[in-house]
Chain A
Amino acid sequence: MLGRTLREVSAALKQGQITPTELCQKCLSLIKKTKFLNAYITVSEEVALKQAEESEKRYKKGHSLGDLDGIPIAVKDNFSTSGIETTCASNMLKGYIPPYNATVVQKLLDQGAVLMGKTNLDEFAMGSGSTDGAFGPVKNPWSYSKQYREKRKQKPHDENEDSDWLITGGSSGGSAAAVAAFTCFAALGSDTGGSTRNPAAHCGVVGFKPSYGLVSRHGLIPLVNSMDVPGILTRCVDDAAIVLGMLAGHDPKDSTTIQDPVKPFTLPTLTDVSKLCIGIPKEYLAPELSGEVRSFWSKAANLFESEGAKVIEVSLPHTSYSIVCYHVLCTSEVASNMARFDGLEYGHRCDINVSTEAMYAATRREGFNDVVRGRILAGNFFLLKENYENYFIKAQKVRRLIANDFVKVFNSGVDVLLTPTTLRGAAPYLEFIKEDNRTRSAQDDIFTQAVNMAGLPAVSVPVALSNQGLPIGLQFIGRAFCDQQLLKIAKWFEKQVQFPVIQLQELMDDGSSVSEIEKLASVSLKH
């Protein structure tokens, strides 16, 4: 049951094949079994069971709220959840209990979703590994998959089985792992430079980044106000579409959301791609790109072409400036956004009270990790009067150029762009931490962050397994506010590639439902 799609489980609930409480308990039990993944910071067991109970009452009366009623979901721990600790994986907010729900959380709860818990992340969503949080790193479930382990047996390694575990990518690694390990059917992440798509690719799940302004950020503890969006992680594109339908639309509490109301929609199934034009940005053929990913990218392009679509090379000429530009703008906004954490009203406060300034300094030194403090310092530097023009203003101008690159390409008749999501598959933790957070972010965000600067929708879809047995994802980038069309194309693609289900035999409750789905997974892009 846990291996099913959201739509399937919802149908099962409606038909009475399973009750919300049973479903909730199964997920809770699996969360306990997969505790070593460290995907969850807080498991809201009591709350979840209560919500499941209420959902059950609704189903009994035949008054279910919709497709999400009774469905277990998880939320990244940088979204405010009323009455439930929200930490952003930082000491600064340990023990902080928000008095309100983020709008997107509220919308899910209003639809009857069952909140399993708050997922782990890089501290304040800064990072691309989910390794730099105050509650420890998140482990990629694929580290324990049959597919990966079998490949590794070919190369004898450490006796210590767990020393070579893989990162999930980040910063929404906990959400990605939670979905990948079947502990929930959908999870909220956030995406500022790729933080939803990156871990989705590494964990073999769908990671969707909506257009900026489509989904409310109210209650999402901000990193970069002009780039953050709530992200959706699910096991298939259709599920992401269901969730998007519930979340999108104007929020008076977020003045950066578009004015138009959005209704839930059913994603139509695309059968004919011959009218599509797929763009392949040539600047994304980076030298660091692994041969395998490049090969999958190429095969995907060929797949579209063989089905009648027009596939052309396009150019996004300012791509090479985008990392630096992103860095300047991101750190500047971080410097501003982190100023609210001063120990006065909420969160951690140090013991020093000699003076206000001394209190601020000690609180912030104690509350933030190196990564956060580093970005604050960098941002403050760029915002100094003498630097403002040369760094901040310049970066804003470059941002405009980057956004215009995309506009030009889409105006020339391209419907979507197809690019890799990451340079390679998930790295082992010990390998990953050899470089610092900033270096890794600069490397790993390469295909994803320009999208945030342009505010476009994008989705990472798992394509196939690498030679090491690890998931590889590819990214589709769509036109602004054409999220539905983007998902429609992604859904078609997903059906073509038939990405294999992760085999976590020893963890699954009922091995039977896993093998059912394994039979469905026949054609894979690799063969």
Chain B
Amino acid sequence: RIKQIQLEQDSGKSLHDELRSQTLIDLNRAGVGLLEVVLEPDMSCGEEAATAVRELQLILQALGTSRANMAEGQLRVDANVSVHHPGEPLGVRTEVKNLNSAKFLAKAIDSEIERQIHELENGREILNETRSFDHKLGCTMPMRDKEGKQDYRFMPEPNLPPLLLYDTASLPPGADPQQVINIDWIQERLPELPSETREKLVQQYGMLPEHSFALLNEVGLLEFFQNVIKETRAEPKKVTSWVLNIFLGFLKQQNLAVNESPVTPSALAELLNLLDRKAISSTAAKQVFEELWCSEGKTPSQIVLEKQLELMQDQEVLEQACHTVMEGHPQVVM
């Protein structure tokens, strides 16, 4: 659940140059809009948190609000972690910062949970402090900054008039549509959100829900999948399987992003067509795929020809081959 949303303006960035004892102030992102989303403490492990963040990322990307790339700092996540016995109130929380990927987010949270449990079981207390995640060590460390309770002395900004949200029912009559915010109007104009996309995939292609999640979770994978579907007569289930198992497998093995793939959707589509009309066996298809991955510019058909991977369809030739094998190994046949 979302507890609160804050719209802010980014300030500058300080870069501390210890060597020359100076601080450099970078104002390039000053004034850029920031959307801070505060989630309720509904999550209980790193994976849940990472999933929630990933979903938020997808939604923001679908809306066009942000590219939400964690590595580039477009999406920054701070985790507030605490532990407690069931039935008791929430424990003292620590804030973990400096997380620049969903993977580290999950790791950091899990390691912090472990640390807190360990501390408490050894009779010590948890300090309400800010910690940063050291991904090399795989654990959280207290941050050096004297983060003692800062009194920001905030006051409500007088230059921002109150933001009133209306829906169609509560909209004042004769209101200028340019000057009011009608959430129903906005709702109608929302683009397709991830949950809707996934639902459509399940309905349209008969895939399992897990598959729809997997397709959306990898950047560019859904598009790749859809492009393959466009160009192939193969069954969607086949395409799904090939994309999620084989294609994605290869990507992960070599730590590549979808847009770095040496195999294009067209190439895979062609391969699947060959498989579909039984021109090659599935074993052969896998071989061809491997070849496609390594060699530039060759089409699946070319590779099949080169490696003579075509399935033999000719009845007579097949019979002849069987006879040859049986004659060559009489002891086995008996």
Contact = CB atoms under 8 A, between A and B. Distances in A.
A499 interface: no
Given A356-B14, A383-B153, A225 B158 contact: yes
Contacts of B21: 354
Contacts of A383: 153-155
Given A356-B14, A384-B153, A344 B25 contact: yes
B159 interface: yes
A332 B179 contact: no
Interface string A235-259: 0000000000000000000111001
Contacts of A61: none
B159 A225 contact: yes
B160 interface: yes
A333 B157 CA distance: 9
Residue among B14, B21, B155 having the largest count of chain A Cβ atoms under 10 Å: B155
B22 interface: yes
A380 interface: yes
Contacts of A256: 158-159, 161
A332 B154 CA distance: 10
Interface residues on B, range: 10 to 19
Contact of A392 (B155, B160, B161, B176): B155
A64 interface: no
Nearest to A335: B153
Contacts of A226: 158
Interface residues of A, number: 23
Contacts of B153: 335, 380, 383-385
A336 interface: yes
B23 interface: yes
A344 B160 CA distance: 25
A269 B25 CA distance: 58
Interface in B144-172: 151, 153-155, 157-161
Interface string A320-361: 000000000000110110000000110000000111100000
Q: Is the interface of B mostly helix, strand, loop or mixed?
A: loop
A190 B85 CA distance: 61
Nearest to A353: B22
Nearest to B151: A385
Contacts of A380: 153
A334 B274 CA distance: 75
Contacts of B176: 259
B155 A332 contact: yes
A356 B159 contact: no
B27 interface: yes
A383 B27 CA distance: 27
B17 to A, nearest CB: 11
Contact of A333 (B14, B22, B151, B155): B155
A354 B151 CA distance: 24
A356 B15 CA distance: 11
Interface in B216-260: none
A356 B160 CA distance: 29
Contacts of B179: 259
Nearest to B12: A344
B146 to A, nearest CB: 12
A107 B14 CA distance: 39
A355 B23 contact: yes
A365 to B, nearest CB: 19
Contacts of A333: 155, 158
Contacts of B23: 355-356
Contacts of A392: 155
A171 B238 CA distance: 79
A383 B157 CA distance: 13
A345 B155 contact: no
Contacts of A385: 151, 153
Given A344-B25, A353-B22, A255 B155 contact: no
A484 B155 CA distance: 34
Interface in A4-47: none
A332 B158 CA distance: 11
Contacts of B22: 353
B174 to A, nearest CB: 13
B172 to A, nearest CB: 13
A40 B176 CA distance: 45
Contacts of A354: 21
B25 to A, nearest CB: 6
Nearest to A387: B153
Contacts of B14: 356
A354 B23 CA distance: 9
Contacts of A344: 25, 27
A256 B157 CA distance: 11
A102 to B, nearest CB: 15
Nearest to B160: A255
Interface string B79-119: 00000000000000000000000000000000000000000
A344 B11 CA distance: 13
A266 to B, nearest CB: 28
Residue among B151, B157, B179 having the largest count of chain A Cβ atoms under 10 Å: B151
Contacts of A345: 27
Interface in A357-399: 380, 383-385, 388, 392
A256 B21 CA distance: 43
Interface string A410-441: 00000000000000000000000000000000
Interface of B: 14, 21-23, 25, 27, 151, 153-155, 157-161, 176, 179
7 contacts: A254-B159, A333-B158, A335-B153, A345-B27, A353-B22, A385-B153, A392-B155
The 6 closest A-B CB pairs, nearest first, are: A383-B153, A225-B158, A226-B158, A356-B23, A385-B151, A225-B159
Given A256-B158, A335-B153, A355-B23, 18 more contacts: A226-B158, A254-B159, A255-B160, A255-B161, A256-B159, A256-B161, A259-B176, A332-B155, A333-B158, A344-B25, A354-B21, A356-B14, A356-B23, A356-B25, A384-B153, A385-B153, A388-B155, A392-B155
